[in-house]
Structure 1
Amino acid sequence: MSSEIIGLTDWLKTPPGAYLLGWERTHFDEAVSDVFGYHALQLGLPELDALQANRMPHKWLALESPLPPVAPAPADGATAAPAASSRRAALLTDSGALPFPESSLDLVVLPHTLELSRDPHATLREVSRVLVPEGRVVISGLNPTSLWGLRQRRGHLYQRWGYDSLFLPKTGEFIGYWRLRDWLRLLDFEVESGRFGCYRPALTSQAWLDRFEWMDAAGERWWPIFGAVYFLAAVKRVRGVRLLEPAWKTRKAPAAAPAAVANKEPAARSRPPA
C-alpha cells in the first residue's frame, strides 16, 4: 500500500475498500429497514448512505468537518476525477456534543464513527443521551483480530524500520468487538444482533480478491469472529419505562356476567308428613 493512502476516504476507493463498503451497505440496509420512528441520524462516513433503506420522515447526515468541494466537469468532455462523496451534510458538529435534545432521536447509525472519533466514549454517551427509550443504534467497525488487522500491526512494525506498508488507513484507533459490547452494556444498551464479514485476505489487487471469494462463505462457517469488519445493532433500555403501543382498534367492553346471589337464604326444606 503506497503512502498516499492516508485516510479512510481515500482508502475506500481501493479494491479492498470497495469490497468492504459493499458488504456494509447490504447489512446497513437490512438492519435499518424495519426500524420505525420519526428521526434518524447518520454520524460520519458520507461515502455510505446507511439510512437509504429506512423510511423515517426526518433523516440527517452529520459530519465533524466539511467535505472538499466537488470539482466541476471539464469543458472539453474529459472525465473528471471522482469526488469523495456527492452527499451533503445536514449539519457539522462534534460527535461528542450533538445538537439534539435529550431523547429526541429514534435511530442513530455509526459507520466507522467510533474508531475515527477523538473520544469514542463521549460519542457513545451522546448517542445514549439523544436516543429515545427503546431507540436503536447500529455500528460498524474494523476488527483488529482479523487478517486485515494482523497485516496492519505488521505494517506498524515495518514503519519503525523505515518502510511504509500499512494496509488499512493510518487514522483512527480500532476498537475490538467485545470491548465495544462492554461499553454498550455500561450505557444500558442491549445488543440485539452482531456479526462479522469480509473474510478475504488483505490484498490490494481486485483480481486476487476475486480469487478468494470462496473465503466469505467459509469464514462465516468456520472462523466467524475473524472477519475484517464487525457489525452490531443495540437497543437502549431504560429501567422502569415501558413502551406503549398505539391502540389501532377500539376494543368493546366485555359484557357483564350475571352476578350470583350468595346471601339468599335457602328455601325451606319440605318435611315428611307426621
Structure 2
Amino acid sequence: MRSAFKAKPPRYPTNWNDFPAGEHIRHAVNAVCSDYAERIFGYHFAKLGSLSADINLDTSPIRHHINHVPFSDLASERPHHNETKEGFPNHNASGISLGGDKREPKISRENTVVGQSHCLPFAENSIDGFLLANELDFAQDPHEILREVDRVITQNGYVIISGFNPLSLAGIAKFLPVKRGNILHDARFFTSYRIKDWLQLLGFEIVEQRQVMFSTLFFQQKWKGAVKLQDYLASYLPWCSAVYVILAKKRVIPMTAIKPKRNLKPRFSAVGASVRTSTMNRTLR
C-alpha cells in the first residue's frame, strides 16, 4: 500500500471561510453529518479539527460534544460567524438562508481541547462518535489519525469522515493555475475508496456514503440554476462530486471459547492396544 505520509505538512485551514466556496461546502457537509449523527448514541462525541468544530450537530442524541482543535485561540478570539474580522456582517454559518434557524455551533473553552489529531488525550474505548470534517485532507500522516481514532473509539462506535474527491472538477482544478494562493491547492484529495480501505483494515464497517457539491470549489456559486444541476448530477453522476461523506461503524468480533462435545467416546484405548500388541508378539514367536 502506498504510504500517505507527506514530508512537508500542508497548510491547515482555520475555518471554512478559508475556501472560496467554504460556506456552501460547510452547509452541504453539515446537512449530511447532522443526519448521520442522529443514528449515533452514547455519552461522548468528539469533533477533530477546526473544520469539524464548525459543524452543528444539535440533532445528535449525544449531548456531550468535545471540540479537539489545534489552535489555542479558536475558542475565544475567533470572529463570530455572522461577522467578518473587520466586524461587518456576513452570511450565517451555513452560507445560505436556513428559514429563520439561527442556531450555530457554540465553541467555548468548557468543551474545547487543544491538541493534535494524531495524539488524542482520551482513554481507550471512551468516545462513542467521531467527526473528521476534511481533517484527513490537511493531515501530514492520516494513518496516525485513524489509528488514534481506532484506539479511542468504543466498540460499535461510529466515525463520520468527509473529504475532497480527486475524481471531480475540484480535483482537476487543483492542478491548474487557478487561484494558486488558495488553500485548496494544499488539500490531499484522497479518494473515498482509499479512505474506506483504511477504515476496513482497522475493523470498521462502511455503513453509508453520500456525494455532495458538484463544482470546482474554487469559485463561489452564483448561478441560480446551480441547485437543479446539483440534483441532476447527484442522480446520474455521483462519482464526480467534489465532496463525499462516509459513515463507518467499528466492529469488534467477540472471542468465544469452543465448548467440547458432550459424552465424548475415546477412539483409542491404551489397554486394548497393549493386549493386542502382546498377543501378536507371542504369535510371531
What TM bracket, shorter-length normalisation?
0.7 to 0.9
CA distance in structure 1 between the aligned counterparts of 2:79 and 2:230, rounded to whole angstroms: 37
3-state SS, counterpart of residue 186 of structure 2: coil
Amino acid aligned to 1:53: T
Partner of 1:140: 162
Cα contact 1:152–1:168 (8 A) shared by 2: no
Cα contact 2:53–2:67 (8 A) shared by 1: no
C-alpha change, 1:133 and 1:140, in structure 2 (3 Å) is same
Partner of 1:172: 187
Partner of 2:252: 238
C-alpha change, 1:177 and 1:88, in structure 2 (3 Å) is same
Say whether 1:87 aligns with 2:107.
yes
Say whether 1:64 aligns with 2:70.
yes
3-state SS, counterpart of residue 240 of structure 1: coil
How far apart are 1:171 and its partner, in Å? 3.2
CA distance in structure 2 between the aligned counterparts of 1:58 and 1:241, rounded to whole angstroms: 32
CA distance in structure 1 between the aligned counterparts of 2:183 and 2:169, rounded to whole angstroms: 11
Q: Which whole-Å deviations, capped at 9, do the CAs of 1:175-232 have from their partners, x for residues lacking one?
A: 1110101101110100000111111355624423x33222211111111111010001
How far apart are 1:65 and its partner, in Å? 2.1
Partner of 1:52: 58
Q: Which whole-Å deviations, capped at 9, do the CAs of 1:83-110 have from their partners, x for residues lacking one?
A: 9997236111121111111111111111
Q: Which whole-Å deviations, capped at 9, do the CAs of 1:54-73 have from their partners, x for residues lacking one?
A: 1223211001222352469x
Q: Which whole-Å deviations, capped at 9, do the CAs of 1:115-171 have from their partners, x for residues lacking one?
A: 11221100000101111110000110111110111111223xx7xxxxx54666233
Partner of 2:228: 214
Partner of 2:41: 36
C-alpha change, 1:168 and 1:220, in structure 2 (3 Å) is farther
C-alpha change, 1:131 and 1:203, in structure 2 (3 Å) is closer
3-state SS, counterpart of residue 231 of structure 1: strand
Q: Which moved more, 1:20-29 or 1:40-49?
A: 40-49
Partner of 2:132: 110
Gaps of 5+ in 1: 1-5, 73-77, 159-163, 243-274
Percent same amino acid among aligned pairs? 28
Partner of 1:269: none
Q: Which whole-Å deviations, capped at 9, do the CAs of 1:5-47 have from their partners, x for residues lacking one?
A: x764466366622111111111111000121111110111156
Gaps of 5+ in 2: 1-10, 81-85, 94-104, 257-285
CA distance in structure 2 between the aligned counterparts of 1:39 and 1:14, rounded to whole angstroms: 30
3-state SS, counterpart of residue 98 of structure 1: coil
C-alpha change, 1:65 and 1:14, in structure 2 (3 Å) is closer
Amino acid aligned to 1:204: F
Equivalent position to 2:240, from 211, 226, 249:
226
Amino acid aligned to 2:142: P
Amino acid aligned to 1:154: L
C-alpha change, 1:81 and 1:217, in structure 2 (3 Å) is closer
Cα contact 1:167–1:202 (8 A) shared by 2: no
Partner of 2:122: 100
CA distance in structure 1 between the aligned counterparts of 2:202 and 2:60, rounded to whole angstroms: 25
Instruction: Using structure 2 for the length normalisation, give the TM-score.
Output: 0.69
Pairing of 1:116-155 with structure 2 (within 5 A):
116-155=138-177
Instruction: Using structure 1 for the length normalisation, give the TM-score.
Output: 0.72
Partner of 1:259: none
Amino acid aligned to 1:87: I
Q: Which moved more, 1:170-179 or 1:106-115?
A: 170-179
RMSD between aligned residues: 2.9
Cα contact 1:42–1:110 (8 A) shared by 2: yes
